C-alpha cells in the first residue's frame, strides 16, 4: 500500500478495492448471532441493535481489518448516503447481497463513523466536533489527516473484506472521495481474564490488556450517554504508526520490557501480579529503584496517572506502507485519548520507536435497524 491519495471516480474506487489483499474495516466487531453457525464457520453477526457492530463483540476481534477514510463530495446529502450504507451493511452481513459473489459473510462486520466536519453540520456542540491536534513524532501527509467518513470492515475470512468494501464503495459511488486506507491483522491472542483476550503486536508484546471490558466500565467510559442524537455511539481515534522494529529488536529483552513496563513472554506488570492486575506503580527494589521505570509505557499511559477514563484499544499489525501498527481506540470522550498522548509525548519510552503517518477521529454512529436508518438521529 502506498501513500494516501484521492480516488475521484467510482472506477478508481472499485479498482483499488479489487486489488486489496488482506482486509477489514472496523476494529473489534460485534457479534449478535441470529442463527446457528455451520460447524467450523464463524457465527454470523447482526449489524443492528443499540450499538453498531464491530466495537465490543465478539470479545475477541476478528483477525483481519480494513479501514477506509473518505471525504464527501460537495453538496452530498449526508442522511440518504448513510441510510443506503446501513442497508448495504445489513444485506451484506445477512448474506443476501448478490455483490458478495456467493461467499458466506461469516463473522463480517462493518462499522461506520463520521468526521468532525459532518458532526459540526449536525450540531456544533455535539461530541465528535473537535479535530485531533497535531502531536510530535508525526509525518502525516495532509491527505492522511482527518476525513468525513470512516468505514471499518472486520472478518475472519480475508477474502470477504475486499468484496464487501467494493460493494459499499459502489453504493456510495461518486458521492465520496477516498483519502486513505489501511489493512491490518491481529496477532495470536492470549487470555487476559475470563472471556477477555489480547493479541501480540509486531514488537512481540501483548497489546490492549487494559480496557473497559465490563458492562459497567463500558457504560462509564465507552458509550456516549447523550445528547440524544449521539447516544449509544462512541468516539474512534485512528493512528497509523511506523515502528523502528530493527532498533527495538536489537535491545536486550530486559530493556524491551522496561520500555513497556511488562514482561514480554507473559504480559504481567514488572511490579508483579497477574496479567490483568493493576500495576503497582509505587513498587521499588530494595535499592529504591522503581520496578516499573518512570518512562515505561504502562506508567505514562495509565488512566489513573493521566486522570482519564479507560479506552478500548484495538491494534492491528501492518506491513505497508511500512511495518508498524494501525492503532484504533474507542472512548466516549476524545480527551481520554488526547490527554493520554499529551502525557506520553515527552517522556514515554515507547514513542521513541514510533512515527505516526496517518491520524483521524470519528463519531461512530449509534446503532440502527430497519425502522431506524443508520445516521437518522443526526441527519434525519
Is pLDDT above 70 for 26? no
3-state secondary structure 332-368: CCHHHHHHHHHHHHCCCHHHHHEEEEEEEEEEECCCC
The set of cell numbers assigned to 96 is: 443476501
pLDDT in tens, 47-63: 999 999 999 977 789 99
DSSP label at 180? E
Residue range 275-288: mean pLDDT, rounded: 96
pLDDT in tens, 212-259: 999 999 999 999 999 999 999 999 999 999 999 999 999 999 999 999
CA 338 from chain centre, in angstroms, equals 15
Give me the residue spans of the domains in the chain.
10-364
Most distant CA pair in the chain, distance = 68
pLDDT in tens, 116-136: 999 999 999 999 999 999 999
- Predicted local distance difference test score (pLDDT) of residue 59: 76
Residue range 284-304: mean pLDDT, rounded: 97
- The rounded mean pLDDT for the chain is 91
Is pLDDT above 90 for 30? no
Phi, psi of 324 (to 5 degrees): 170, -150
- Predicted local distance difference test score (pLDDT) of residue 31: 38
Can you tell me the distance from the alpha carbon of 93 to that of 54, in angstroms, rounded to the nearest whole number?
Answer: 12
Is pLDDT above 60 for 38? no
Residue 40: pLDDT band (50, 70, 90) is low
Is pLDDT above 70 for 29? no
**pTM, full prediction:** 0.90
Does residue 90 have a cis peptide bond before it, meaning omega lies within 30 degrees of 0? no
Can you tell me the distance from the alpha carbon of 308 to that of 301, in angstroms, rounded to the nearest whole number?
Answer: 10
Amino acid at each position: 500500500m502506498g501513500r494516501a491519495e484521492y480516488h475521484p471516480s467510482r472506477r478508481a474506487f472499485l479498482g483499488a478495492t479489487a486489488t486489496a489483499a488482506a482486509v477489514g474495516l472496523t476494529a473489534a466487531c460485534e457479534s449478535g448471532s441470529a442463527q446457528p453457525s455451520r460447524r467450523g464457520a464463524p457465527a454470523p453477526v447482526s449489524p443492528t441493535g443499540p450499538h453498531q457492530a464491530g466495537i465490543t463483540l465478539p470479545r475477541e476481534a476478528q483477525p483481519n481489518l480494513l479501514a477506509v477514510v473518505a471525504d464527501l463530495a460537495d453538496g452530498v446529502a449526508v442522511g440518504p448516503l448513510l441510510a443506503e450504507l446501513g442497508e448495504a451493511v445489513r444485506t451484506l452481513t445477512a448474506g443476501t447481497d448478490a455483490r458478495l459473489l456467493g461467499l458466506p459473510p461469516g463473522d463480517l462486520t462493518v462499522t461506520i463513523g463520521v468526521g468532525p466536519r459532518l458532526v459540526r453540520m449536525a450540531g456544533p456542540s455535539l461530541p465528535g466536533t473537535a479535530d485531533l491536534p497535531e502531536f510530535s513524532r508525526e509525518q502525516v501527509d495532509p491527505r492522511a489527516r482527518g476525513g468525513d467518513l470512516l468505514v471499518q470492515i472486520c472478518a475472519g475470512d480475508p477474502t470477504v473484506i475486499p468484496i464487501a468494501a467494493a460493494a459499499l464503495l459502489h453504493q456510495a459511488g461518486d458521492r465520496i472521495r477516498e483519502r486513505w486506507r489501511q489493512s491490518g491483522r491481529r496477532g495470536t491472542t492470549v487470555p487476559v481474564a475470563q472471556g477477555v483476550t489480547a493479541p501480540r503486536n509486531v514488537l512481540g508484546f501483548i497489546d490492549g490488556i487494559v480496557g473497559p471490558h465490563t458492562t459497567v466500565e463500558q457504560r462509564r467510559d465507552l458509550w456516549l450517554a447523550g445528547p440524544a442524537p449521539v447516544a449509544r455511539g462512541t468516539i474512534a481515534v485512528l493512528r497509523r504508526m511506523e515502528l523502528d522494529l530493527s532498533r527495538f529488536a536489537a535491545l536486550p529483552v530486559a530493556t524491551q520490557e522496561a520500555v513497556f513496563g511488562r514482561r514480554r513472554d507473559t504480559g504481567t506488570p514488572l511490579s508483579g501480579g497477574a496479567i490483568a492486575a493493576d500495576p503497582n506503580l509505587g513498587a521499588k527494589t530494595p535499592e529504591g529503584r522503581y520496578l516499573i521505570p518512570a518512562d515505561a509505557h504502562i506508567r505514562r499511559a495509565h488512566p489513573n496517572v493521566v486522570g482519564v477514563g479507560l479506552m478500548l484499544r484495538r491494534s492491528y499489525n501492518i506491513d505497508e506502507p511500512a511495518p508498524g501498527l494501525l492503532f484504533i481506540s474507542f472512548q466516549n470522550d476524545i480527551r481520554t485519548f488526547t490527554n493520554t498522548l499529551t502525557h506520553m509525548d515527552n517522556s514515554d519510552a515507547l514513542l521513541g520507536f514510533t512515527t505516526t503517518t496517518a491520524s483521524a477521529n470519528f463519531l461512530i454512529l449509534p446503532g440502527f435497524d430497519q425502522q431506524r436508518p443508520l445516521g437518522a438521529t443526526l441527519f434525519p
